[in-house]
Amino acid sequence: MSVPHAIFVSGVAGFVGSKLARLFVDRGYPVFGFDDLSRGSRENLSGLLTHERFIFEKVDLSDAGAVRSRFMNCHSRIPISEVWHMAANSDIASGIADPSVDLRDTFLSTFNVLDAMKEAGIPFLAFASSSAVYGDLGEAPIREDVGPLLPISNYGAMKLASEALISAAVEDWLDRALIFRFPNVIGVPATHGVILDFVRKLRGTPNKLNVLGSGRQRKAYLHVDDLIDAIVYLRANASERLGYYNIGPEDKGVTVSFIAETTVEAVAPGAGIEIEYGVEDRGWTGDVPRFSYDIAKIRALGWRPQLGSADAVRKAVVEIVRQEANL
């Protein structure tokens, strides 16, 4: 039997990247995974690190020279046919405090990955973009062709700039690219996000939960199992040279207060923990307070999510409480 070409996953020690690497290894692919472990961890790769088809390298993807040489080295060992670029800064607020974070981890990582791919002649890129590229468009469900795109965070700006780089590469040398505009994705291994924040806050102050913002922010949430299902579905079924898709639930989302109440109930059932809300409609600068997707484009290809936002939150809360209890 011939060995399949390898798949490269950046951000492999993170929430989505680690799940994706596991899936490809289980499907029989050799997987090269790069991560600088700034936000991901080796624990997220447990079981994979010792797997014969998985090779991990600690690399800072904003370092052009390191990316090029380490990538070419992997490619010469087993030819890489696909790149899944999942690495980025996943903490929007930290990129507001220091814009160089998103320049480096969100934009330069994409620039350098594309540069290495061009050098090696890799034909396919899958890219984790974000709803943040749309900015704040209010209540109406967002379609992929809405415009102008005016992000309100440096993170969103650097994701949009990355999409633009990919578009230019497709025009020039890249055979095919898929851009996934993720919504808020939840589940385990959780590395960041509102549920993890709440669970950790409750560990510090068990009698009270402090919530950033009024709690009325309403957003769409997708469980990571649905997300992974959607992106591998698009890999098999989207035929455009440059495909770009919203991925999300079919509803208008749930409020932050729903998430706070669900988390409090899971951490200490019936304990009557006080939830304290702020006054602002936004949790922080760059936060988009209301957001839902129109997912007709991916629906038309035949994919739909298993869980709506509320059930995704209920499931993820249970998983994240368990994750934190085992630390």
Ligand X SMILES: NC(=O)c1ccc[n+]([C@@H]2O[C@H](COP(=O)([O-])OP(=O)(O)OC[C@H]3O[C@@H](n4cnc5c(N)ncnc54)[C@H](O)[C@@H]3O)[C@@H](O)[C@H]2O)c1
CA dist., res. 8 & res. 257, Å (int): 39
Q: By C-beta, is 185 or 266 nearer to ligand X?
A: 185
Q: By C-beta, is 4 or 41 nearer to ligand X?
A: 41
Binding mask 102-121 for ligand X (x = CB under 6 A): --xx---x------------
Q: By C-beta, is 253 or 273 nearer to ligand X?
A: 253
Q: By C-beta, is 154 or 184 nearer to ligand X?
A: 184
> In the structure encoding, which two tokens stand for residue 248, read together?
């999300």
Q: Which of 5, 38, 49, 120 binds ligand X (CB under 6 A)?
A: 38
Q: By C-beta, is 13 or 259 nearer to ligand X?
A: 13
Which residue type is seen at 36? Answer: D
- Choose one: 6-14, 246-254, 265-273, 276-284; the region binding ligand X (CB under 6 A): 6-14
What is the DSSP track for 149-165?
---SSHHHHHHHHHHHH
Going by DSSP bridges, is the β-strand pair 6-10/31-35 parallel, antiparallel, or unpaired? parallel
Among candidates 155, 191, 179, which has minimal Cα distance to 17?
191
CA dist., res. 244 & res. 250, Å (int): 18
Least distance in Å: CB of 194 to ligand X?
Answer: 10
Binding mask 265-304 for ligand X (x = CB under 6 A): ----------------------------------------
CA dihedral 166, 226, 249, 142 (to 10 degrees): 0
CA dist., res. 219 & res. 308, Å (int): 12
Q: Which of 62, 217, 262, 309 binds ligand X (CB under 6 A)?
A: 62
Residues 126-145 that bind ligand X (CB under 6 A): 128, 130
Size, binding site for ligand X by CB under 6 A: 30
Q: Please name the helix (run of DSSP H) or strand (run of DSSP E) that holds residue 223, with its range, or none.
A: strand 221-223
Handedness of CA 219, 283, 136, 96 (dihedral sign): negative
Q: By C-beta, is 61 or 178 nearer to ligand X?
A: 61
Q: Which of 35, 197, 226, 287 binds ligand X (CB under 6 A)?
A: 35
Q: Tell me: does residue 264 bind ligand X (CB under 6 A).
A: no
Q: Tell me: does residue 61 bind ligand X (CB under 6 A).
A: yes
Least distance in Å: CB of 208 to ligand X?
Answer: 26
Q: Which of 8, 15, 71, 303 binds ligand X (CB under 6 A)?
A: 15
Q: How many helices (H) and strands (E) does the chain have?
A: 11, 14
Q: Which of 21, 32, 55, 60 binds ligand X (CB under 6 A)?
A: 60
CA dist., res. 232 & res. 238, Å (int): 10
Q: Which of 6, 11, 152, 174 binds ligand X (CB under 6 A)?
A: 11
Which residue type is seen at 8? Answer: F
Among candidates 87, 95, 108, 103, which has minimal Cα distance to 34?
87
Residue 76 phi, psi dihedral angles, 5° rounding:
-75, -25
Interacting residues with ligand X (CB under 6 A): 11, 13-17, 34-40, 60-62, 86-88, 90, 104-105, 109, 128, 130, 182, 184-185, 191-192
